[in-house]
Structure 1
Amino acid sequence: MAGASLLALLDDISLILDDVSLMTKVAAKKTAGVLGDDLALNAEQVTGVKADRELAVVWAVAKGSFVNKLILVPAALLISAIYPPLVTFLLMCGGLYLAYEGAEKIIHKFWPHLLPHDEEQKKRLRANADDTIDLVAFEKEKIKGAVRTDFVLSAEIIVIALGSAAGATLLEKSLVLSIIAVTITIGVYGLVAGIVKMDDLGLHLMKKSSNVQQKTGAFLLSFAPKLMKFLSIAGTIAMFLVGGGILVHGIDFLHHEVEDLAHLTGIFESATTMLLNALVGLIVGVIVVAIVTMIGKMRDNKSSSAH
């Protein structure tokens, strides 16, 4: 009897792990947009930091990211247990935010005069050039800002992952969110560390006597900025795909319209669905950017009038 009970327990554990594995794969796919943006954004965060401090800054932000996950995972599980509909609402908010971020990036790239100017990059460069500025204090502020940004992106990832595990048991949800949280943190910040030191490795190899090493170093130096650009573009596209997909699935009439239109294209149905989701994400994102920009201008006008 004891042997039979043990076998039954092992069988149950095996089934749970299979379910968790499947849900984790689905969650990873659905969070791809945020992960792409997270990777590009965190790599950009250390731009302007002195070369010998880059890894220290990445490590500090990674530790902050782990703390964020320790807060977010239990909070998400608690919300899903107490009031599950709130997960759907948060998921829709995450979709709106992704669409907004993607649209803002595009507008900032092609029509920068329409948006407020971002002085962050200039501040970083001035801080490095000015010996009178306390770089340690400056880095601490920079790390705090990066951790705050990570909190928002991590919240989106956790909520999206939780949405993909809807209907699962509490144990399965806990395992899925824990695996996603640990994996993305190690993966993202490990890649960020590799990306920011790629140019240093290239310079190091170019000083070697071997012709092969010198060519490899030259390749890494030229490839690093191209990789950053690719990550930024891929992340933006994925934000529209994922954000738009969340919004489409959350609004019944949009979901049916997209399904009907995509079905008309036959073998291209999947590709059409993705394009339509991205289009919805782009349109919604532009609308949200316009609303946020107008609110910001109204506040600025009120502040000017008050003074």
Structure 2
Amino acid sequence: MAGGLAALLDDIAALAKLAAASVDDVSAAAGRASAKAAGVVIDDTAVTPRYVQGVTANRELPMIWKIAKGSLRNKLLFILPAALLLSQFLPWLLTPILMVGGTYLAFEGTEKLWEAVSGKHHEKPQVTAPEQGPEAESRMVGGAIRTDFILSAEIMVIALNEVADEGLLSRAIILVVVALAITAVVYGVVALIVKMDDIGLRLAQTRNGASAALGRGLVTAMPKVLAVLSTVGIAAMLWVGGHILLVGIDELGWHGLYDVVHHLEEAVHGVAGVGGFLAWLVNTAASALLGVVVGAVVVLVMHQVHRWRHRGAAAGDAAAEH
């Protein structure tokens, strides 16, 4: 009996070790996958606060919670099953889909870069939820969730591509972990950013000199923080989008461009002390440059299409007047 109990305990200990190793493997894979999607995560974090601008303070967090739930629903109920089916039965489609997403990121980043340089922005009608009531709030939340769907799809496909060699069950678990972690991080940070002004104002109104000074500092700093976050988001979109395209082109059989970047990396990798950083910097700069080039082409095409549509609409209005 004692021997049987000892054997059973040994089996339980072995299973516990195996389970712990599996958890470690899933955690490590989820970490790698999340890191690969960092550029899109930064963009998602930078974009979302715009959807609660002009909203009364007591509605900000409830709206962010609704958007967060919609984002998680996007990832787990729609994107995750489609991504798993795709990776299981049509894995060769992952690279082209990633490249389409990379092109979209490059386009978004380049368009924002052009707007920042030229000072020209696409004007959108400002409709605030408190002025229009619950229906307008629902429309704003719905618009944010639709935008999130594109970014969430890109995050999940990037993450899936990173763990494509894992088994189906492991892929599913890793993607669920990534979905939960990234949604929590993005919307936790968004909630903190949105409420930072209110926290600063409350601290500024206290009688404690140090707290009041901290509050005034927070209120003053928030516009700068948002500006920095937006700039980092643009850079991240260009870098991540360009890197996806650079790797995708190589995987599709056109090796020339990737080989050039690889040779440039090798040329600086041997520099004592900073070789690894310089190699990363070369790859990042090359990826961002490719992102700008591809993004600029798409921006030009989209602007030309917009002009054609505008001319067509103007011609139609003129014909209707006659």
Q: Do the two structures share a fold, i.e. TM-score over 0.5?
A: yes
- 1:13-67: per-residue Cα shift (whole Å, max 9, x none)? 3343232222212112111100101001012221221222111211111111121
Paired with 1:162 and 1:280, the residues of 2 have a C-alpha distance of 23
After superposition, give the CA deviation of every residue in 1:104-147 in whole Å (9 maximum; x if it has no partner): 1111222244x6x2314x334xx76xxxx523222111111000
Report the residue type matching 1:305 in the other structure: A
Within 2, Cα distance between the matches of 1:123 and 1:134? 8
The aligned residue for residue 284 of structure 1 is 294
TM-score by length of 1: 0.91
1:262 aligns with 2:272: no
Report 1:165-244 matches (<5 A): 165-244=163-242
Tell me which residue corresponds to 2:124. 119
Counterpart-to-counterpart distance in 2, 1:208 and 1:160: 46
Structure 2: how far apart are the matches of 1:235 and 1:297? 28
1:165-219 superposed Cα distances (whole Å, 9 cap, x missing partner)? 1211112211211111001111111111111111111111111111111111101
The structure whose Rg is larger is 2
5+ residue gaps, structure 1: none
3-state DSSP of counterpart to 1:144: helix
Q: How much does 1:5 deviate?
A: 5.0
Distance in 2 separating the partners of 1:6 and 1:202? 53
Task: Please list the CA deviations of residues 254-297 of structure 1 after superposition, one character each: whole Å capped at 9, or x if unmatched.
Answer: 22121112222332222111111111111111111111221222
TM-score (norm 2): 0.87
1:215-267 C-alpha deviation (Å, 9 max, x unpaired): 11101111211111111111111111111111111112222121112222332
Aligned partner of residue 127 in structure 2, secondary structure: helix
Q: Is the 8 A contact 1:16 1:172 kept in 2?
A: no
Map 1:1-307 onto structure 2 (within 5 A): 5-70=11-76, 71-113=78-120, 117-120=122-125, 122-124=126-128, 133-252=131-250, 253=255, 254-266=257-269, 267=275, 268-307=278-317
Structure 2: distance between partners of 1:201 and 1:269: 42
Secondary structure, aligned partner of 1:168: coil
CA RMSD of aligned residues (A): 1.9
Q: Taking structure 1 as reference, are residues 54 and 255 closer, same or farther at Cα in structure 2, changes over 3 Å only?
A: same
| Closer/same/farther in 2, CA of residues 214 and 112 from structure 1, 3 Å limit | closer
Kindly indicate whether the alpha-carbon contact (under 8 Å) linking 1:102 and 1:236 is maintained by their aligned counterparts in 2. yes
Paired-residue identity, %: 39
Larger relative contact order (Cα-Cα within 8 Å, sequence gap ≥ 6):
1
Asked if the contact 1:258/1:273 (under 8 Å) is kept, the reply is yes
